[in-house]
Amino acid sequence: MHWTTACPDWQERIVAGRSLIPFDPLFPDEAEAALSVFKSLKIVDVAGQPTFGEACEEYVFDFVRAIFGAYDHENAKRLIEEFFLLIAKKNIKSTMSAGIMLTALIRNWRHSQELLILAPTREVAENSFKPAADMVRADPELTDLLHVQDNLKEITHRLTKAVLKVVSADSTSTAGKKAAFVLIEELWLFGKKAGASAMLQEATGGLISRPEGFVIYISTQSDAPPAGVFKEKLDYFRGVRDGTIDDPRSLAVIYEFPDEMVKSKAYLQPQNFYVTNPNMGRSVRADWLERKLAKVRSGEDEDGDTIQTFLAKHLNVEIGMNLRANRWAGADFWALRADPKITLDYILKHCDVVVPGIDGGGLDDLFGLCILGRHKQTKDWLAWSHAWCHKGVLTRRKSIADRLRDFEKAGELTIVDDELDDISAIIEIIQRIKDAGLLAAVSVDPAGLGEIIDALADIDVTPENGEIIGAPQGYAMMNAIKTAERKLTNGTLMHSGSGLMSWCVSNLKIEPTATAIRATKQTAGDAKIDPAMALFDAVTVMSRNPEPKRKPEYQMLVFG
């Protein structure tokens, strides 16, 4: 049997309100048998206690058909075993999750089978268990068939002794689990947990010996730029959906706005709210969303929500760097000025002068380096960045540990041990720049950098010879901040497009006073900005238009 789960025309489908599942169930009889069970379950917290069959739009039934219709009963094997659903808040996500897992419990044939709903917090676990328990209690036949234990958050099939367990994530909750059917709720919150990837691997390990099983990831968008295991899964399943990753054993159903609608901000128009809210008119009300949007935009929302959280949760708009009200103005143009060809070697080859900017705190921070070059022909500024951090940051700042590891995998961050070889790596880069005759000066944050000043002296880069300059900090950095944002706006400052720098730029908060501005962190502690501050340090010197030092004959000798 040959099939594909790719849906390359999803952008046209989602705007037209068509199904995002591009194929019929592989085994129609299995699909319809399971759907019959699912449709009979009652949604207790809705007026009149309708069944799923009475209360849901077709997208719900399409998803259920795809899950259960992938099961080959004859060979006791599921041909599609991983499912990903990204959908906006209030589209009966948790209730549907409960219904799917109850259906799996009822349809399961294996004795003493374990089924698992894994939630990131106790509150989410309660939101998943309560609808399932209510569905059982609302149906006398199910009450006879299934035993609900509220204290354990378990539902047991009286005949097969199979058990559906709802657990919240902690250090021991997934250890030793052998579940064949696993549903991961609110994956975006797992993206904020250190070690979440290993936790999910443990929770889903039972599928190795249970070929009839499945794993379902269900989530809304994150209220911050995607990170950790959430980013990993989101990127992968987008690739499956788009057809760039060939994996017919995985299915992605992602309710998000097409690229053009994101660029034009069409998601702010109420007539487009339906795109990521397929249950519009039932569990979701367009007029409520419109009023909520007006409140958050005016800053008068009684729940304290921001435009950022509204867009992420109710419209599934992925949070980037340009949605915060107090963001740095340059963030709006940062992504537009990315050019992957800008590497350290590219800058050394094409620039006539280079300024390294350095900024870093203690062992709890990143050590940021920005290499800012001036193109010898166009005079545009080209920036390449890297950062280092001590391994202890991964334990002290667990909320960003997975994000930092992502940057390490991308080659944008180096995690060092107690030998602290970050300074030696920075010195090596500056030595290359100096040997090439390109060094204008090293621009540093004067606070707390005594060690690197000593290391630079070893390669004859000193304040006395004018090759170390202390960059003004705080409000005195306003000129560099404004210069950088103006050059980003007009396209004369380009950068390598690293995810690390995009994150740091998104973390910048601009604090105005009557006469100046200063850049600081959006969130104390976890929101690192050191590499972005290193850029501003470098701009301080580059804005003085330093003279080139490289000799023409050296350029011919090195680069031919």
Count of CA atoms in the C-beta half-sphere (13 A) of 482:
9
Inter-axis angle of helices 422-435 and 450-457, to 10 degrees? 40
State the first-to-last Cα distance of the chain, in angstroms, to the nearest integer: 57
Q: At what angle do helices 58-68 and 28-40 cross, to 10 degrees?
A: 130
Burial of 267 (0-12, 13-18, 19+ CB in 10 A): buried
Profile the chain (560 residues) by mean pLDDT over runs of 10 residues.
93 96 96 97 93 94 97 95 96 94 97 94 90 96 97 96 90 64 95 83 84 96 87 94 96 96 91 96 93 85 77 89 68 89 97 94 82 96 96 84 89 87 92 95 80 89 90 84 94 95 88 66 68 95 86 41
3-state secondary structure of 286: helix
Contact 512, 356 (CB under 8 A): no
**E-assigned strand segments in 169-294:** 181-185, 214-219, 250-254
Q: Which pLDDT does position 493 carry in this prediction? A: 97
Could you tell me the residue ranges of all domains in the chain? 10-261, 331-559
In degrees rounded to 5, what are phi and psi of residue 316? Answer: 60, 35
Cβ–Cβ under 8 Å, residues 456 and 434: no
Judge contact between 5 and 70, C-beta under 8 A. Answer: no
10-261 adopts what CATH topology?
Rossmann fold (3.40.50)
Q: By three-state DSSP, how is residue 367 classified?
A: strand
Pick the CATH number of 331-559 from 3.30.70.360, 3.90.1170.50, 3.30.420.280, 3.40.50.1000: 3.30.420.280
Q: How many whole angstroms separate alpha carbon 135 and alpha carbon 98?
A: 9
Cβ atoms of 116 and 203 within 8 Å: the answer is yes
d(CA 66, CA 76): 16
Distance CA 511, CA 215 (A): 45
CA–CA dist 309, 323 (Å, integer): 10
Alpha carbons 518 and 533: distance in angstroms, whole number = 11
Q: What is the pLDDT of residue 513?
A: 61
If DSSP codes are grouped into helix, strand and coil, which group holds residue 280? strand
Residue 176 · residue 205 · CB < 8 Å: no
pTM of the model: 0.74
500 in Cβ contact with 506 (< 8 Å): no
Q: What is the pLDDT of residue 511?
A: 78
Residues contacting 494, CB < 8 A, separation 6+: 337, 338, 339, 342, 380, 381, 382, 383
Interatomic CA distance for residues 504 and 489, integer angstroms: 18
What interhelical angle do 93-107 and 58-68 show, nearest 10?
30
Which pair of structure tokens corresponds to residue 156? 């047991």
**Alpha-helix residue ranges (DSSP H) falling in 57-161:** 58-68, 93-107, 122-137, 140-145
State the burial class of residue 537 (Cβ atoms within 10 Å of its Cβ: 0-12, 13-18, 19+).
buried
Which residues neighbour 62 within 8 Å (Cβ) at sequence distance 6 or greater? 19, 20, 21
